[in-house]
Structure 1
Amino acid sequence: MNLRIHRQDIPAGLVVFLVALPLCLGIAQASGLPPFAGLLTGVIGGVLVTTLSPSRFAVSGPAAGLVTIVVAAIETLGSFSAFLLALILAGVLQFILGVVRAGRFITLVPSSVIKGMLAAIGILLIMQQIPVALGATGDGGLSGLFNSETHFSTSAIVIAAGGLGILWLWSTPMIKRVKALSWLPGPLVAVLFGSLGAVFGERMQPEFFSNLPRISLPKFDSLSALTAGLERPDWQAWRNPSVYVVAITLALVASLETLLSQEALKKLRPQYPAPSPDKEIRAQGIGNLVAGFCGGMPITAVIVRSSVNVSAGAQTKASILLHGVLLLICGLWFSDLLNAIPLASLAAVLLYTGYKLATVRLFIEQGRMGAHQFVPFITTIVGIVAFGMLAGIGLGIATQIIYSIYKSHRNALQLTRHDDHYVLRIKQNLTFMHNPKLQKLLAAIPENSVVVVDNNNGEYFDPDVKAVFEDFGEDASKRGISLQQWPVAAK
């Protein structure tokens, strides 16, 4: 690995680490699990899964999209240890899915849905991070900002605004032309700015910076102390049928989110040749198997951290491996140092990442492609924001299917007139769903006409379609209509 790649991968790994750390801890807390369970999952995803993964840029770890599934599963199974057994089984099932090459079916997901998923994640990021950037108190989220009891931190707003300003400045040609500055990625500079501002600001203006929210990482004296609170799988839970239901659910949802993240990542940073989805599923399966044994959480490839990795200029897997190693090292020995980082600085990085995922330009481009692309795109966004990842993706795919069927139905038949000759062009196979339009076109043909059927593209007709042609053929002679190249034989 040459110096140029080191120069880009090392800062990128630092940025991904700084973004992944609070996410790992926050997802664990939201799932009702010990903070180190999230940190451990990030380490397994960052080191083990990355080593086995065919992708150079995909970052794996705990995913916010699985929080609701984890919470519901633990409640159903009665304990986290029983959930760990389900996670082990899910990892085995994922590996089997990769062996039977189930990953190829991801190509069935329309591009409009993938782009909609990207934009929705960006919007969710912005919605989640605005309260953090404002230093808002309480857990009301974005809606809580309008609560009269909510208080804001001026210092957090200053730190976040400064970070966003740096990120914008680092995207301008002025900075890109200066090699000494372009050597460092904007997100890393924004985090350093916030950390230094908080440290020196607290000394100079303690009252102003006293209420600035920061990373809160538990302190461990040794590896044994760190792992002491972790649970182990409950092997006796195999008798509970719900364990297998949870395992199947985890395997399918984690695989789908991983593969969709991989497809979305292709839009951000193409790789040649493209990473094998089957190898990726196998890598994720091994990661979840190990996570279940060690007391971790479900692992998926996550587009948020992956997009941060790409945006920071990563060139190889080294950036992801570095982030995984740093998660472990800092969890053991550098918690005090990391606790100096303001959450507002990380919020600025995530806000900027969210904007890049959901730019106005993306909406304009999708709109210019027509309703058949724009409507499923918007439906996916609204569905994910309102109902969750899987429901939104399902709504987007369903909408795309409906539009495709509508377009196919609309263009399947065409009737043109040349004097008293009518040409009925059949452009594809016909099913019972084409009967209303077929009957409408045939009814428009007047008496004493010549009907020519152009049937070069239709190789299959449903029995119901044949019945319509047969009925028209029987009445044609009575109406003085001459049939040429009629697709069905007369009775």
Structure 2
Amino acid sequence: MANETIKTSVSDSGSAAFRKEYALRDIQAGVITATMAIPLSIGIALMSDYPIQVGLATVAFASFIGFLFAWFRPGNFIGAPGIAAGLAPILAMGVATFGIENMAFIVFLTAAFQAIIWKFNWQRYLLMAVPGYLVEGLLAGIGLKIALKFLPFLWMLPVAASADVFWTEERINVVALSVIGAIIFFGLFQHFKDSKPALPYFSLILFGIVSALFIEVKMLHIEDIDFNIGFPVPSFDSAWMWLYAIFFALMLAVVDVIEQVMSNAAIEKIDPLKRPCNSNNSLLSIWVANMGSSFFGGMTNLDGLAKSSTNRLAGAYTKLSVLVIGVLISFLLFNQEYLHNLPYFALAIIMSFVGIKMALGILHIAHHGPYAMLLATLCAILVFKVGIFEGLIITLAVHAIIYYVIFKRVNCEPNGRIIRRYFKKFKKDEQELN
């Protein structure tokens, strides 16, 4: 009887955005998830070579859009939108290639590609072209980049030290604080990841703030920037840059879409009311948020699994929790002086943990068999050593060649049948991953 009641109420209009009986739980979940999302978003913005204010503004804007669309086109019910760690190095590569002044247009172009994918429901074909285990390999390589990027922050001094002496008393103090902070964070995460997931983040930040009262450490500094709202107009100086921008935005759109579809599959499994997700509706919310953020120079977004899992464990039932996240982050966006109390070493522990966790995600591929594991590992190594776009393309080419040789030379099958098998195998792999 209870299940029938749940199914009936879920189908009511607006139930994804707000349900009176769960309002207090959703507000509590929003506060807890924001506690985790704020330092994580700051770290991702730094990794992406974007201003911190832009990263926070993107998360707030995406949260408001996610709550709005939950009223009439819900993609999932407890997913928390924000900037994704897996896309950070890709955005950083874009900043280095096109310049921060052109990234708004890149994000706009990315949103346009995502709108096309949404309109024709093409994400199912993307999942055939790029197997889920290769995406895991891609994210593992990116995770290594993130971990190595933030490791030096664990011994960073408040002021530049002499190059002649590394182990000064000040550096030993910072390293000691980093070790203690890491022990606190990992210990709490191990014990409370399934019950109070925001507690490790809150405790680490509190430890960092208190420690900074007694020991001088490098603190976060946020430069105030002016948000210029307007249509993103590029300033490319060659036809080659235009062509590369199109391919870059397409790659960013594809990775973003695949990550969202994979996140939705996981979010559906942890939904407290077992409500089904609609990935195409999620893509609608994503591309609208991305296109909107491009008008103020924002970043790309998606419903990250880490924030969504925290949202669920914190007690969320509807997207009201996402609205709360947006409100709290907006408050800090306009009162950024409160963020100047965040020590760099605490931020480094969080981001290094995120990177390591992404890298270890490749172990989930083992159930696909040795071939998938080897290919995902190859993808991770190439992404880390060669580049994100190049690594994925090379791995796909290697996979296609191996597949062709096996069925052409061993089974003596015609080319048409090989191609059909190729795409069917991708579809099967994705179904198994989900």
TM-score (norm: length of structure 1)? 0.64
Aligned pair in 2 of structure 1 residues 70, 297: CA closer, same or farther (>3 Å)? farther
The number of residue pairs the alignment matches comes to: 378
Q: Tell me by how many angstroms 1:61 deviates.
A: 3.1
- Aligned amino acid, residue 12 of structure 1: T
Query: 2-side partners of 1:325 and 1:376: how far apart?
Result: 43
Deviation at 1:35, TM superposition (A): 5.2
1:328 counterpart (330, 337, 345): 330
Secondary structure of 2:228's aligned partner:
coil
Per-residue CA shift, 1:189-222, capped at 9, x if unaligned? 22222222223x2xxxxxxx22x11211235xxx
Are 1:134 and 2:134 matched, yes or no?
Answer: no
1:213 is paired with a residue of what secondary structure? coil
Structure with the higher helix share, 1 or 2: 2
Aligned pair in 2 of structure 1 residues 195, 321: CA closer, same or farther (>3 Å)? Answer: farther
Kept in 1, the 8 Å contact 2:30–2:323? The answer is no
Change (3 A) 1:262 1:186: same
Aligned twin of 2:375: 376
* 1:104 correspondence with 2:127: no
- For the residues of structure 2 that align with 1:114 and 1:253, how far apart are their CA atoms? 12
**1:430 Cα deviation after fit:** 3.1
1:190 aligns with 2:197: no
In the alignment, is residue 218 of structure 1 matched against residue 223 of structure 2?
A: yes
SS in 2 for 1:59: strand
Show the counterpart of 2:98. Answer: 73
* Bigger relative CO (Cα 8 Å, ≥ 6 apart): 2
Percent pairwise identity: 16
Structure 2 contact 153–345 (Cα < 8 Å) conserved: yes
Aligned CA distance change for structure 1 residues 43 and 253 (closer, same or farther; 3 Å): farther
CA distance in 2, matches of 1:129, 1:164: 13
- Match of 2:57? 40
Report the Cα offset of residue 381 of structure 1. Answer: 0.4
Give, in whole Å, the separation in 2 of the partners of 1:236 and 1:218. Answer: 24
Would the alpha carbon gap of residues 269 and 432 (structure 1) be closer, same or farther in structure 2, given more than 3 Å must change?
Answer: closer
Q: Given that residues 12 and 185 in structure 1 are in contact (C-alpha distance below 8 angstroms), is that contact kept between their aligned partners in structure 2?
A: no
Which secondary structure state, in structure 2, belongs to the residue aligned with residue 128 of structure 1?
A: helix
Contact 1:138 1:150 in 2 (8 A): no
Shift of 1:342: 0.8
Q: Which residue of 2 aligns with 1:430?
A: 414
1:341: which partner in 2? 342
Change (3 A) 1:247 1:138: farther
Q: Quick one: which amino acid aligns to residue 253 of structure 1?
A: M
Distance 1:231 1:346 in 2: 30
How far residue 397 of structure 1 moved from its aligned partner, in angstroms, is: 2.4
CA deviation vs aligned residue, 1:345-393 (integer Å, no higher than 9, x gap)? 122122222332233x854x64675441122111110111112222222
Matched, 1:16 2:25: no
- Using the size of structure 2 for normalisation, the TM-score is 0.71
Alpha-carbon deviation of 1:409? 4.2
Paired with 1:231 and 1:149, the residues of 2 have a C-alpha distance of 47
Cα offsets for 1:407-450 (capped at 9, x unmatched): 4346626xxxxxxxxxxxxxxx434999xxxxxxxxxxxxxxxx
Instruction: Write the distance in 2 (CA, Å) between the matches of 1:84 and 1:120.
Output: 26
Tell me the distance in 1 between the aligned counterparts of 2:159 and 2:405.
48
* Structure 2, unaligned runs of 5 or more: 1-21, 422-434
Query: CA–CA distance in 2 between the matches of 1:214 and 1:85?
Result: 32
